[in-house]
A and B are shown apart, each in its own frame.
Chain A
Amino acid sequence: MPWADALIESQSPRLTPPLKGRALSYIDALNEALMLALDLDPNVFILGQGVNDPSAMFGVTRQLEQRFGSQRVFDTPLSEEGLTGICVGAAMTGLRPVYCHNRPDFLLLAFNQMVNHASKVHYMDNGQTNVPLVMWAAIGRGWGSGSQHSQAIQGLLLTVPGLKIVMPSTPYDAKGLMLAAIADNNPVLIFEHRWLMKQTGIVPGGIYNVPIGQGIYRRRGDDITIVGSSHTLQLAMQAVDSIRHSYRQQCISADIIDLRTIKPLDKEMILASVRKTGRVLIVDTGWAMGGVCAEIGCLIAENCPGSLRFPVRRIGLPDVPTPAGYTLEQFYYPTAEKIAAVVIEMCA
């Protein structure tokens, strides 16, 4: 789909790389992570609809079958629930499956295995078995993706004990979190965002992990804390930069926390920052209601009500399915401008 590529190209934020070193695209960073994992551990295998086809899961699984063979990298039937269960059974007996999906929307067919089984086996058998399973999917946005090809369903899964959920926002994190997820002995969901995938960033070669369960400060500041992950976090950084660069506004300095993992949450980092700034805006690619925004808002309300100088604010999606057309879409999605307006209001 050339339109999707064009879209991602046009929207992808150009970041100043945090470190010096080798520049790599987001896709190549993920591809490299999978190569390294396959190379390192014979128990790792990759499956998913089209992982060995010409589009190769947006390029993420490119060349993997050629290098590692069709026993370890294979196309699947369209059986999301069944194949997820098969991955659970394989993981319980010593393999480390990485099951790739184009879109999180398709994972809804696999909820029985994810929610009733993968996340609970270890608990239900009192620690006798574990489920080192990675489920990977890329959130879509725009050009008619609509209600069934753009859902960011992390909020639905946040409430499930036993799952881990990571949402990278940079090539460096995408590789490091993929490696960490494969190395983890629990079911880990990786939600990518299509609009992050054309980024290039500094990515060290070789194996490294981005620790699951720990956030990172992308900016340090005193006026406000902005917390979130994935594409919306990048929008928030653009928003803050736009305010800083605007002549009419006073300089607003923000703590920007990239959660990297949304379950388990890095509570300490969030609370420490909010206690310092007294203002918090939570952003998420998913629905605001009952999701990541709601959970973090509640965490703050419970733990540092006395520190707040302004009510907690959240920016997620309205309680509405995703529209398909671009006119409706512009009212639907958060943008850097919308985020900047809220930040200005909060810091006025």
Chain B
Amino acid sequence: MIQYRYQGSGFADWRAALEQYTREQLLDMFFQLLRIRRVEESIESRYHEDEMKTPIHLVIGQEASCVGVCGVLTRNDLVYCGHRTHGVYLAKGGDLKAMMSECYCRANGCAGSKGGSMHLLDKNVGMAGASAIVAGIVPIATGAALTAKMRDETWVSVVFFGDAATEEGAMWESLNFAALKRLPVIYICENNYFSVYSPLSNRQPAAVDIFKKAESFGLNSHVVDGTNVLAVREAMTTAIGRARSGEGPSFIETRAYRWRGHGGTGDDSASGYRDPDEVTLWQQYCPVELFSTFLTENKILDASRRQAMETHIDGEISAAFEFAINSAMPTERDLYAHVYSD
């Protein structure tokens, strides 16, 4: 039985929006989407080798939210996320080689092999924090916004989390405080309808949309098609404008579907928790390919440009794997480093 259907309307209504962007911006959005997809596929294809000894949470099917959001951020803006880190890290400009090294548990991984795939960080580009405790990062991102407000910093704090995070108390404690203090923080709820095997219907009353709850806390709150990078970006543009001009926090619920299992590789819907047809249905709304088609129809992308991108990404990915695999392992001394800060 199909429980969760795509509710968006594709790219049909977005032709006018193209005017707002340069050709380069549009191509870059597509490039980011494609790159994240290919990185995820390459991790997936080599995971069985059991050399990446780290739990992975692939973002295949959900790429548009992190690309749409990070597209309007500057390097100085701070981004935080939960366990599903890969897309956000890459979209914010995180170093791919350091990410692969982290997945391969190498000393030069982006977290020195102390974080793993759920804690991809790159402070240089504002990839500032991640937590594997559902909703644990939400107050932390809110605290970063408090710093921005107290010190009159120009950056905005943005935090990604799933639908299940909105069942945790700390989530609402954070929204309450952010609204109270009008903090420059943007909450991105990536609603993929599942928490591991548990459908949203087991966890939240159907009649109340997540973004509505956030709205009732006093936040500027919207829901958007999470498969449509332009829709996400538009909502984010409004939110960031508000944050930068002191109008306070926003909440954006992006709805898209997780094509793979919660963790690891492949689709696990045959296990019975969701209908395999539901997955197939959502695959018709591919954030990468539908955008590709849209750009092609509008003469922004063509086959040779796309091929050039594919080739570039392939090369980058091979180099990153190569780099990671040939990097040194951490030593016993590393174990004891950074328990306390000086």
Contact = CB atoms under 8 A, between A and B. Distances in A.
Interface of A: 43, 45, 71-72, 76-77, 79, 81-95, 112-113, 116-117, 121-132, 161-162, 164, 185-186
A172 to B, nearest CB: 25
Interface stretch (B131-139, B203-211, B287-295, B317-325): B131-139
Contacts of A164: 340
Contacts, number: 145
Nearest to B139: A85
B140 A89 contact: yes
Contacts of B143: 85-93
Contacts of A112: 133, 136, 170
Contact of A85 (B112, B114, B138, B150): B138
B342 A82 contact: no
Interface string B123-154: 10000110101001011111111111011000
Nearest to A88: B140
Nearest to B335: A123
A41 B234 CA distance: 40
A78 to B, nearest CB: 9
B269 interface: no
Nearest to A82: B173
23 contacts: A71-B150, A77-B176, A79-B170, A79-B173, A82-B139, A82-B172, A82-B173, A84-B139, A85-B138, A85-B140, A86-B143, A89-B144, A92-B129, A93-B144, A95-B150, A113-B170, A116-B136, A124-B115, A125-B114, A125-B115, A126-B115, A127-B338, A129-B128
B78 interface: yes
Interface of B: 78, 80, 111-115, 119, 121, 123, 128-129, 131, 133, 136, 138-148, 150-151, 157, 169-170, 172-174, 176-177, 180, 337-342
B139 A116 contact: no
Contacts of B133: 112, 116-117
Contacts of A90: 143-144, 146-147, 150
Given A77-B176, A79-B173, A81-B169, A123 B339 contact: yes
A82 B150 CA distance: 18
Nearest to A118: B140
A127 B109 CA distance: 13
**Which has the most chain A C-beta neighbours within 10 Å: B112, B115, B340?**
B340
A22 to B, nearest CB: 33
Contacts of A45: 150
A124 B111 contact: yes
B341 A127 contact: yes
Nearest to A78: B173
Given A45-B150, A94-B147, A127-B337, 18 more contacts: A71-B150, A79-B173, A82-B169, A85-B174, A89-B141, A93-B128, A112-B170, A113-B136, A122-B340, A123-B114, A123-B339, A125-B119, A126-B337, A127-B112, A127-B341, A128-B121, A128-B123, A129-B128
A329 to B, nearest CB: 33
A122 B128 contact: no
Contacts of B114: 123-126
Given A112-B170, A125-B111, A89 B129 contact: yes
Nearest to B185: A89
A-B CB proximity, top 10 nearest:
A89-B143, A85-B139, A82-B173, A126-B112, A79-B173, A130-B341, A89-B140, A86-B143, A127-B338, A93-B147
A43 B151 CA distance: 8
A85 B170 contact: yes
A90 B147 CA distance: 5
Contacts of A87: 143
A170 B338 CA distance: 32
Contacts of B111: 124-126, 128
B59 to A, nearest CB: 21
A239 to B, nearest CB: 35
Contact of A86 (B136, B148, B177, B340): B177
Contacts of A128: 111, 121, 123
B200 to A, nearest CB: 23
Contacts of B180: 77
A128 B123 CA distance: 7
Nearest to A121: B129
Contacts of A116: 131, 133, 136
B21 to A, nearest CB: 31
Contact of B146 (A81, A95, A121, A185): A95
A86 B341 contact: no
Given A82-B169, A121-B129, A124-B119, A161 B151 contact: no
Given A126-B111, A126-B114, A89 B338 contact: no
A123 B119 CA distance: 11
A251 to B, nearest CB: 42
Contacts of B115: 124-126
Contacts of A85: 136, 138-140, 142-143, 170, 174
Given A71-B150, A77-B173, A89-B139, A126 B131 contact: no
**Which has the most chain B C-beta neighbours within 10 Å: A77, A88, A122, A161?**
A88
Contacts of B150: 45, 71-72, 90, 95
Nearest to A164: B340
Contact of B338 (A92, A95, A113, A123): A123
Nearest to A131: B341
B341 A82 contact: no
B174 A186 contact: no
A340 B163 CA distance: 58
A9 B255 CA distance: 61
B341 A83 contact: no
B170 A82 contact: yes
